[in-house]
Amino acid sequence: MSNVLEVINLFLSAENFIGPQFRYLNEKGANMHLICSPAERLDAFAKEQGIAYKSVVLERQLSPFKDLKALIAICKYIRKNKIDVIVGHQVKGRLLSVLAGKIMGVPKIVIFAHGALFETSRGLKRKLLLWESKFESFCADYVVCVSRSVSQVRLREKIDVIDKQVILGKGTCGGIDTQNKFNPERISDDDKKRLKRQLQISDSDIVIGFCGRLVKDKGVIELVEGFKLLKEKYPHLSFKLLVVGPLEKRDSIPLELVEYMRASQDIVFTGFVDGNMELYYSIMSLLILPSYREGFPTAVLEASAMGKPILTSRKTGCIDSIIDGKTGFYIDISPSGICCGVEKLLDADLRREMGTNAREWVVENFDHKKVWPYIEKLLIGEKNGKTIE
């Protein structure tokens, strides 16, 4: 029986990226463990999933003293629990995982490449991120690339040797629940009406949805400017821009843009939504993600599973998340590109058709029950070769 330790910076990421995978892998014969930063719900989550855990502060930024302290804590946990497999997620989680794994002689070291942060970095920061990625890859036995485009950019930058790379089916880090959670049939009309009233959205509004961190890398500046163009071009139509997600200090958008969003009668800014995202997707007419980089955008999968057409960029991660012309459209990351993209989906019949296609595609390829067996094979099976297909 394998003792598997997952190391990830934030509890919220553990909940979203891994979640019920823990219980699934336990049922398949693993003893699952988690190390992440402290969080209020961590203990309840661990009991629900049937896992052992330790809360260790994993700083997002470089912090030599705290990082060393965290490394020692992880090494002690590995020794105490006889860990056979260590899995690292996110920048700090990956780095500390490979270091602890090598120091303690863990038989299998796996890292997840959830994206390519270096793509939108410049100068010394880019060089350091590339060096760190190459070091982690050198130490790891397997590198899980969450999309084919992430795999390609890492190979292009000579970060990985191809024999170490793994793609779980068609991608993602664990799929989504398309039956019991992100399923439009499970949302009642009363719940949708209640949320619309709460957000002051009318049935006649064309609701352009965005879900994600409000940072420059997500194309938020271009999105708001594109929305302004759209309103100017179609004054006779009623649009609402529904923005769901938290503000962040790193790569933050200008304060004046935030103030404009909060003041606008046509922009609904919810901030961070903790759970029940499926209800928010259900009142959108379409989802837009004009991002400059992703790993595999979970919001696109979730909205697609809810039967919504998608507008997204051709950038890393995004390019893998739709079938252009069938489940959505690629757009240029510019105000005019965003305006043109929405124009293509002004027809309600086309939105319904593409939304139906989107749900079928996601259910067929990205339901978590189809992705988890690949993870099982990698972590507790005898996985060999270049990819898990």
Could you read off the pLDDT of 82-93 as tens digits, one per residue? Answer: 999 999 999 999
Q: Percent of the chain at pLDDT above 70?
A: 98
The string of pLDDT tens digits covering residues 120-176 is 889 999 999 999 999 999 999 999 999 999 999 999 999 999 999 999 999 999 999
Average pLDDT for the chain: 95
SS3 string, 238-282, reads CEEEEEECCECCCCECCHHHHHHHHHCCCEEEEECCCCCHHHHHH
What average pLDDT does the segment 309-327 reach?
98
Query: For position 120, what pLDDT does the model report?
Result: 85
Residue type, 6: E
Instruction: Tell me the backbone φ, ψ of residue 244, rounded to 5 degrees.
Output: -115, 115
Percent of the chain with pLDDT over 90: 92
* Measured distance between the N- and C-terminal CA atoms of the chain, rounded to whole angstroms: 25
What's the rounded Cα separation, in Å, for the pair 329 and 238? 22
| Protein fold of 3-175+368-380 | Rossmann fold (3.40.50)
CA-to-CA separations, 379 to 96, 103, 256, 376, in angstroms, rounded: 18, 20, 47, 5
Nearest to 43 by CA among 31, 32, 55: 55
Q: pTM value?
A: 0.93
Structure-token pair, residue 247: 């503000």
Q: How confident is the model at residue 383, as a pLDDT?
A: 55
Nearest to residue 169, comparing CAs of 362, 357, 304? 362
In order of 77, 180, 328, the CA distances from 37 in angstroms are 14, 29, 37
Cα angle 85, 152, 127; round to 5: 80
pLDDT bin (cut points 50, 70, 90) of residue 81 is very high
Give the span between the Cα atoms of 362 and 30, in whole angstroms: 28
Based on the number of CB atoms within 10 Å of its own CB, is 339 exposed (0-12), middle (13-18) or buried (19 or more)? buried
What is the tens place of the pLDDT at every residue in 282-301?
A: 999 999 999 999 999 999 99
Q: What CATH code is assigned to 184-366? A: 3.40.50.2000
Provide the pLDDT for residue 386. 40
d(CA 196, CA 208): 13
The DSSP element (H or E) to which 45 belongs, if any, is: helix 42-49
What's the pLDDT band for 387 if we cut at 50, 70, 90?
Answer: very low
How far apart CA 71 and CA 66 sit, in angstroms, is 9
Domain edges within the chain: 3-175+368-380, 184-366
The predicted structure's pLDDT at residue 63: 85
Residue with tokens 């997500």: 218
**SS3 at position 30:** coil
224's tokens: 């708001």
Cβ atoms of 211 and 280 closer than 8 Å: yes
Which residues have CB under 8 Å from 238's CB, separation 6+? 202, 204, 205, 206
Q: What is the pLDDT of residues 265-279, one digit of tens each?
A: 999 999 999 889 999
- At residue 382, the pLDDT reads 65
Pairing mode of beta strands 165-166, 52-55: unpaired
Q: Does the pLDDT at position 222 exceed 90?
A: yes
Q: How, if at all, do strands 85-88 and 3-7 pair?
A: parallel
* 73-84: average pLDDT: 98
Closest CA to 292 of 215, 208, 209: 215
The one-character DSSP state at 324 is B
Q: For 355-370, what is the mean pLDDT? A: 98
CA distances from 128 to 35, 93, 123, 132, 164 (A): 25, 16, 9, 6, 22
List of E strands, the chain: 3-7, 31-36, 52-55, 85-88, 108-113, 142-145, 165-166, 206-211, 239-244, 267-271, 286-289, 310-312, 328-330
Do 3-175+368-380 and 184-366 come out as alike in CATH topology?
Answer: yes
Q: What's the one-letter identity of residue 196?
A: K
Q: Is the pLDDT of residue 43 over 50?
A: yes
Q: Supply the pLDDT for residue 388.
A: 44
